[in-house]
């Protein structure tokens, strides 16, 4: 699947790399490559199999290291800001379109990329590029015109003015996206809202479709007969090449399906064989499977929308009642408020102490913060970026809060992918590359010593992205990029065992404080419980697998991002995803498909005896959405962090006005 | 009739004027050119050439003078900016000493005494202990980075290279401006966030109020006005009251 133009919000970008298994879109927790303030990405493409390259307005072509999740090598394009980059059909060459009007060809070699040659340069920035499927020609779109270049000779063989047909051309026509089909048709999308089909050899316009009043910003083609375009108003359109008469030979392009999934500009679209994928400025990624391409009408054929990142951005210090919020360039530490009153179900109690914003810690340098953590006692705080790792000591005395940086933090090979403090706040676990986890001991006045590095016995090329220490400090579970879960014994720093492999990404893990059972939530919504001392799945877990989980549970959109436990009741497991929080009671029976999964509201209305019959293990609350975090504090308190969508939508760039009848 | 006479008079006047002027075109057409002997013509031409030549020579000499004066002025100014000769001499000697022990290539650029003067005024100047300099020279060579490059002996400071301003920032800014102008320029029909989201409030099944962000400038005029309106009114009311009371009780 080719990626369309990637858009960078502001100048930094967290790129979710394309899913490892394209067809199984549910089995997916995307790894994230942290962004950089100075690096703006305008274009991404895959080359030479599975190497990811990005280019942007900084003028550099960067290769991304997918196992290390960082930007690996950068080569200066040499033509100023790069507006677009495409790979040829074999993935051996990259063509870039630059600000100065040149199109340059780079060769993809094992170590990186090498400049090969410059093609014919004309005045006017090259905004979009496309290779012919046979790699003989490249079409380059610019302002008011596009040109077709013969790759072997490097000369422009045709130059076509796009604005010729508009009578009163008051402003210039920008060709935002272009594609060259194998039949020799050039498809162009311009800022007047038109999608036009040209015969480049004759230099004639075959068809012109005005799909929108505002600009058409992106275009993607699949299998030569299906095109998706995205516009400035947030609408996406599907165009298909259909025969004029049933069974006839003559075919025409027709705009078949309009979609309005986004509220802001759609600057990146992609077309896989079975689905249309669009990414908008409103922070949503929408996957719309095409009905006619889907064999089985199952849950996979449903529209998927992804708004929030599937990783943990909030940490909680339970004993100190502090919350740490991770933003891309700074961290915020808040103290929770408290109340003395009690009330009934559904009441909002008044606070006697308001929540306080204690400190905002800005990260040094242009890189985005990758992970952060606060210790359970609330006195240690750490964060990591792509090139540095910082640890701070927090002192809260009365009203004032002071942060002191811990000097002489042992140097590790950056970046640290995940940070986790132990339950007694005496050790820090740092997830690193190649499956290794570093254990640091935290010394009292403010120091840090490297104790040990835990490594999987058979070696691993991917980085660890999830950590879970046990409450008694005996065990540590680590999940690496190849989805293997390793369990280490912290008393003797040895590898204990590996959880049996399951072909799906892990989205959350946690170790029960009293029974030392590892609870695992996978991206396909399966739940497992693995007993660490016994090195096997527990009987409850086997029951769950044999009975199967409820259909409504398996058809949820977002993965579980955090698991926690109730110290008072060892059979409770608390989980949450973006749209619900659930208390799983292992002592109650599991629901079968005929029962209602979200039955809390109906149970409330039933009398006591009837309630006992219908009670099942899943107690789900959908009152708070969208959820970023949920954790259990002491004294029957649950903290839930919601991030209303309207809060950040109003801070996005301006949307295009949509005239509605009657307003 | 009067108009026609006036026009005739005007035309006649023009013809007389034309005749009075010595028209060179007509003279060259009608009459033969004047006869001038060769020698006279040659002398006239030579005289003209001499004049022109002298004028050019004078002009050139004037420019030379100006240039010479400017050069002297600049030399003067340069001399004033440089350190006194004694210090320069000392530094030169110490420089030669260091050349012997350290790598010559890296010192070459720093040797120029003119740039020394400018570097003193540069933004990043670090002070370094002079005593440690000689002993630390061996260490300095091993140390990586800017500290060892261009290390001045006599050791009052070290000049370091700051981040340089290249043209890429400017190109990037121009590209971003183009993108902003195309996507958010005047012709793009963009609407502020509150209008856009209020649409959903008005069209939904439960109609709600439009979203309107609080603006601090609301009511500013009224607030400023009230200060002026209130006081005169108050005075009026209270002065009247006291006047009335005095009238009612004339004895007071």
A48 Rama sector, left if φ>0, alpha if ψ -120 to 50, beta otherwise: left
Q: Do B188 and A656 touch (CB under 8 A)?
A: yes
**Nearest alpha-carbon partner for A619 in A587, A594, A641:** A587
Answer for the pair A47, A61: CB distance below 8 angstroms, yes or no.
no
What are A263's two structure tokens?
Answer: 């509220």
Question: pLDDT value at position A293?
Answer: 76
Name the pLDDT band for B137 (thresholds 50, 70, 90).
very low
Q: Is the pLDDT of residue A87 over 90?
A: yes
Q: Do B172 and A646 touch (CB under 8 A)?
A: no
What are A167's two structure tokens?
Answer: 């009578």
Residue of B nearest to A265 (CA): B183
Q: Using an 8 Å CB-CB cutoff, list residues of chain B that contact chain A.
A: 168, 171-172, 174-176, 178, 182-184, 187-197, 199, 202-203, 211, 213
Answer for the pair A467, A436: CB distance below 8 angstroms, yes or no.
no
Residues B31 and B14: their CA atoms lie apart, in Å, by: 23
Backbone φ and ψ for A13, nearest 5 degrees, come out as -150, 135
- Look at residue A484 and give its three-state secondary structure: coil
Q: Do A80 and B171 touch (CB under 8 A)?
A: yes
Residue of A nearest to B212 (CA): A650
Kindly report the length of chain A: 663
How many Å lie between the alpha carbon of A662 and the closest alpha carbon of chain B? 9
Q: Is the pLDDT of residue B195 over 50?
A: yes
Residue of B nearest to A125 (CA): B175
pLDDT tens for each residue of A182-224: 999 999 999 999 999 999 999 999 999 999 999 999 999 998 8
Q: Do A663 and B172 touch (CB under 8 A)?
A: no
Question: pLDDT value at position B109?
Answer: 41
Burial (CB count <10 Å: 0-12, 13-18, 19+), residue B204: exposed
Name the pLDDT band for B161 (thresholds 50, 70, 90).
low
Q: Is the pLDDT of residue A59 over 80?
A: yes
More confident position, A489 or A18? A489
Name the pLDDT band for B191 (thresholds 50, 70, 90).
confident
Which chain B residues contact residue A263 at CB under 8 A?
196
What are A508's two structure tokens?
Answer: 């959350």
Which chain B residues contact residue A58 at CB under 8 A?
168, 172
What are A7's two structure tokens?
Answer: 């858009």
- Best of A11, A80, A82, A263 to disrupt the B interface (most B CBs within 10 Å) is A80
**Nearest alpha-carbon partner for A577 in A537, A628, A619, A615:** A628
**Nearest alpha-carbon partner for A477 in A541, A420, A433, A522:** A420
Q: Is the pLDDT of residue B122 over 60?
A: no
Q: Measure CB to CB from residue B184 to each of A174, A191, A653 and give the nearest one.
A: A653
Q: Do A660 and B197 touch (CB under 8 A)?
A: no
Question: pLDDT value at position B76?
Answer: 87
pLDDT tens for each residue of A414-433: 788 899 999 999 999 999 88
- Look at residue B192 and give its three-state secondary structure: coil
Q: Do A646 and B195 touch (CB under 8 A)?
A: no
Q: What angle do CA B244, B245, B248 make, to 5 degrees?
A: 85
Q: Measure CB to CB from residue A59 to each of B171, B192, B194 and give the nearest one.
A: B171
Which chain B residues contact residue A662 at CB under 8 A?
203
More confident position, A551 or A412? A551
pLDDT tens for each residue of A647-660: 888 788 888 887 77
pLDDT tens for each residue of B196-208: 777 767 776 777 7
Name the pLDDT band for A76 (thresholds 50, 70, 90).
confident
Q: Is the pLDDT of residue A252 over 50?
A: yes
Residue whose tokens read 């100075």: A38
Name the pLDDT band for A168 (thresholds 50, 70, 90).
low
User: What percent of chain B shows pLDDT beyond 70?
Assistant: 47
Q: Do A655 and B191 touch (CB under 8 A)?
A: yes
Task: Give the lowest-confidence range in A229-243, A323-337, A460-474, B19-33.
Answer: B19-33
Looking at the whole model, is its pTM more than 0.80? no
B240-249 long-range CB contacts below 8 Å, 24 or more apart? none
Burial (CB count <10 Å: 0-12, 13-18, 19+), residue A106: buried
Question: pLDDT value at position B3?
Answer: 63
Task: Give the lowest-confidence range in A342-351, A596-605, B143-152.
Answer: B143-152
Residue of B nearest to A214 (CA): B188
Q: Quote the mean pLDDT of chain A.
A: 87
Which chain B residues contact residue A99 at CB under 8 A?
171, 174-175
How many Å lie between the alpha carbon of B191 and the closest alpha carbon of chain A? 5
Q: Is the pLDDT of residue A131 over 80?
A: yes
Q: Do A214 and B189 touch (CB under 8 A)?
A: yes
Which chain A residues contact residue B196 at CB under 8 A?
263, 655, 657-658
What are B122's two structure tokens?
Answer: 């540069």
CB pairs under 8 A between A and B: 72
Task: Give the lowest-confidence range in A401-405, B88-92, B126-130.
Answer: B126-130
Name the pLDDT band for A4 (thresholds 50, 70, 90).
very low
Q: Do B175 and A652 touch (CB under 8 A)?
A: no
Q: Do A660 and B192 touch (CB under 8 A)?
A: no
Q: Do B202 and A663 touch (CB under 8 A)?
A: yes
How many Å lie between the alpha carbon of B246 and the closest alpha carbon of chain A? 57
What are B87's two structure tokens?
Answer: 């210090």
Question: pLDDT value at position B100?
Answer: 64
Residue whose tokens read 């002027």: B21
Residues B189 and B183: their CA atoms lie apart, in Å, by: 10
- Best of B166, B168, B208, B214 to disrupt the A interface (most A CBs within 10 Å) is B168
Which chain B residues contact residue A265 at CB under 8 A?
183
Question: pLDDT value at position A624?
Answer: 87
**Nearest alpha-carbon partner for A465 in A441, A442, A436, A489:** A436
Mean pLDDT of A92-103: 93
- Best of A9, A10, A81, A96 to disrupt the B interface (most B CBs within 10 Å) is A81
Q: Is the pLDDT of residue B230 over 70?
A: no
Q: Do B183 and A265 touch (CB under 8 A)?
A: yes
What are B47's two structure tokens?
Answer: 């005289």
Mean pLDDT of B234-243: 73
Q: Measure CB to CB from residue A171 to each of B187, B202, B211 and give the nearest one.
A: B187
Name the pLDDT band for B223 (thresholds 50, 70, 90).
low
How many Å lie between the alpha carbon of A192 and the closest alpha carbon of chain B? 10
Q: Quote the mean pLDDT of chain B.
A: 68
Question: pLDDT value at position A72?
Answer: 82
User: What percent of chain A shows pLDDT beyond 70?
Assistant: 94
**ipTM of this complex:** 0.81
Q: Is the pLDDT of residue A257 over 50?
A: yes
Question: pLDDT value at position B167?
Answer: 67
Q: Measure CB to CB from residue A57 to each of B176, B188, B191 and give the nearest one.
A: B176
- Best of A233, A280, A650 to disrupt the B interface (most B CBs within 10 Å) is A650
Name the pLDDT band for A108 (thresholds 50, 70, 90).
very high
Q: Do B183 and A215 touch (CB under 8 A)?
A: yes
Look up residue A113 and give its DSSP letter. E
Question: pLDDT value at position B133?
Answer: 43
**Nearest alpha-carbon partner for A378 in A399, A401, A361, A394:** A394
Q: Do B195 and A174 touch (CB under 8 A)?
A: no
């Amino acid at each position: 699947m080719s990626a369309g133009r990637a858009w960078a919000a502001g100048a930094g970008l967290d790129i979710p790399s394309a899913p490892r298994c394209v067809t199984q879109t549910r089995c997916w927790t995307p790894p994230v490559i942290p962004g950089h303030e100075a690096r703006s990405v305008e274009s991404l493409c895959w080359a030479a199999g599975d190497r990811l390259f990005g280019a942007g307005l900084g003028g550099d072509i960067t290769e991304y290291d997918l196992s290390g999740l960082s930007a690996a090598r950068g080569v200066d394009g040499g033509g100023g800001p790069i507006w677009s980059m495409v790979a040829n059909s074999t993935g051996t060459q990259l063509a870039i379109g630059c600000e100065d009007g040149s199109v340059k060809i780079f060769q993809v070699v094992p170590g990186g990329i090498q400049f090969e040659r410059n093609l014919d340069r004309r005045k006017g920035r090259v905004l979009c590029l496309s290779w012919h499927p046979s790699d003989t020609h490249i079409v380059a779109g610019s302002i008011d015109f596009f040109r077709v270049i013969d790759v072997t000779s490097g000369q422009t063989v045709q130059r076509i003015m796009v604005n010729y047909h508009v009578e009163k051309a008051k402003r210039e026509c920008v060709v935002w996206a272009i594609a060259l089909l194998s039949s020799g048709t050039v498809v162009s999308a311009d800022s007047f809202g038109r999608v036009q089909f040209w015969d480049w050899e004759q230099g004639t316009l075959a068809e012109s479709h005005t799909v929108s009043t505002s600009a058409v910003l992106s275009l993607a083609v699949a299998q030569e007969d299906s095109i998706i375009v995205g516009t400035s108003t947030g609408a996406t359109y599907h165009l298909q090449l259909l025969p004029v008469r049933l069974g006839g030979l003559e075919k025409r392009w027709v705009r078949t399906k309009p979609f309005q999934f986004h509220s802001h500009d759609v600057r990146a679209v992609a077309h896989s064989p079975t689905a249309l994928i669009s990414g908008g400025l409103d922070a949503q990624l929408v996957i719309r499977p095409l009905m006619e391409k889907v064999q089985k009408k199952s849950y996979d054929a449903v529209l998927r929308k992804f708004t929030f990142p599937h990783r943990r951005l909030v940490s909680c210090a339970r004993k100190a009642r502090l919350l740490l919020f991770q933003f891309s360039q700074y961290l915020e530490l808040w103290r929770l408020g408290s109340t003395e009153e009690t009330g009934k179900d559904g009441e909002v109690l008044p606070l006697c102490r308001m929540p306080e914003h204690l400190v905002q810690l800005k990260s040094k340098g242009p890189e985005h913060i990758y992970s952060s953590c606060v210790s359970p006692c609330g006195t240690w705080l750490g964060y990591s970026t792509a090139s540095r790792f910082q640890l701070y000591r927090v002192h809260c005395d009365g009203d004032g809060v002071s942060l002191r940086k811990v000097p002489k933090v042992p140097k590790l090979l950056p970046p640290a992918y995940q940070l986790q403090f132990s339950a007694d706040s005496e050790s820090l676990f740092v997830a690193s590359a190649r499956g290794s986890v570093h254990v640091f001991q935290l010394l009292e006045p403010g120091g840090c010593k490297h104790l040990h590095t835990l490594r999987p016995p058979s070696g691993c090329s991917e980085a660890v992205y999830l950590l879970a220490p046990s409450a008694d400090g005996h065990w540590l579970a680590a999940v690496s990029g190849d989805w293997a879960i390793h369990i280490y014994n912290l008393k003797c720093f040895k590898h204990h065992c590996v959880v049996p492999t399951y072909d799906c990404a892990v989205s959350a893990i946690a170790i029960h404080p009293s029974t030392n059972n590892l609870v695992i939530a996978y991206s396909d919504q399966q739940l497992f419980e693995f007993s660490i001392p016994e090195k096997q799945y527990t009987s409850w877990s086997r029951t769950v697998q044999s009975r199967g989980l409820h259909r409504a549970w398996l058809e949820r959109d977002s993965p579980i991002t955090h698991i926690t436990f109730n110290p008072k009741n060892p059979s409770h497991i608390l989980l949450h995803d973006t749209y619900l929080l659930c208390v799983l009671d292992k002592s109650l029976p599991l629901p079968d498909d005929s029962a209602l999964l979200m039955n809390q509201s109906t149970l409330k209305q039933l009398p006591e005896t009837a309630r006992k019959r219908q009670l099942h293990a899943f107690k789900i609350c959908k009152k708070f959405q969208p959820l970023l975090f949920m954790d259990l504090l002491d004294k029957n308190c649950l903290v839930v962090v919601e991030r209303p969508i309207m809060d950040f939508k109003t801070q996005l760039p301006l949307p295009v006005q949509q005239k509605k009848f009657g307003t | 009739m009067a108009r026609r006479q006036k026009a005739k008079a005007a035309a006649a006047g023009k013809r007389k004027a034309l005749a009075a002027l010595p028209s060179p075109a007509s003279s060259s057409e009608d009459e033969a050119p004047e006869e001038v002997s060769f020698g006279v013509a040659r002398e006239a031409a030579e005289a003209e050439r001499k004049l022109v030549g002298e004028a050019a020579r004078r002009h050139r000499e004037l420019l030379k003078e100006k240039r010479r004066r400017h050069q002297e002025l600049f030399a003067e100014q340069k001399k004033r900016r440089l350190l006194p000769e004694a210090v320069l001499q000392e530094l030169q000697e110490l420089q030669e000493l260091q050349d012997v022990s350290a790598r010559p290539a890296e010192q070459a650029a720093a040797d120029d005494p003119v740039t020394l003067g400018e570097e003193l005024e540069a933004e990043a100047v670090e002070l370094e202990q002079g005593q440690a300099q000689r002993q630390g020279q061996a260490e300095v060579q091993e140390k990586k980075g800017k500290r060892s490059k261009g290390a001045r002996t006599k050791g009052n400071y070290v000049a370091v290279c700051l981040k340089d301003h290249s043209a890429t920032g400017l190109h990037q800014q121009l590209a971003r401006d183009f993108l902003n102008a195309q996507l958010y320029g005047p012709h793009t029909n963009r609407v502020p966030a509150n209008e856009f989201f209020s649409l959903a409030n008005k069209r939904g099944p439960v109609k709600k109020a439009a979203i309107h962000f609080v603006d601090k400038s609301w009511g500013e005029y009224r607030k400023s006005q009230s200060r002026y309106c209130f006081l005169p009114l108050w005075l009026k009311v209270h002065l009247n009251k006291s006047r009335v009371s005095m009238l009612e009780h004339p004895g007071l």
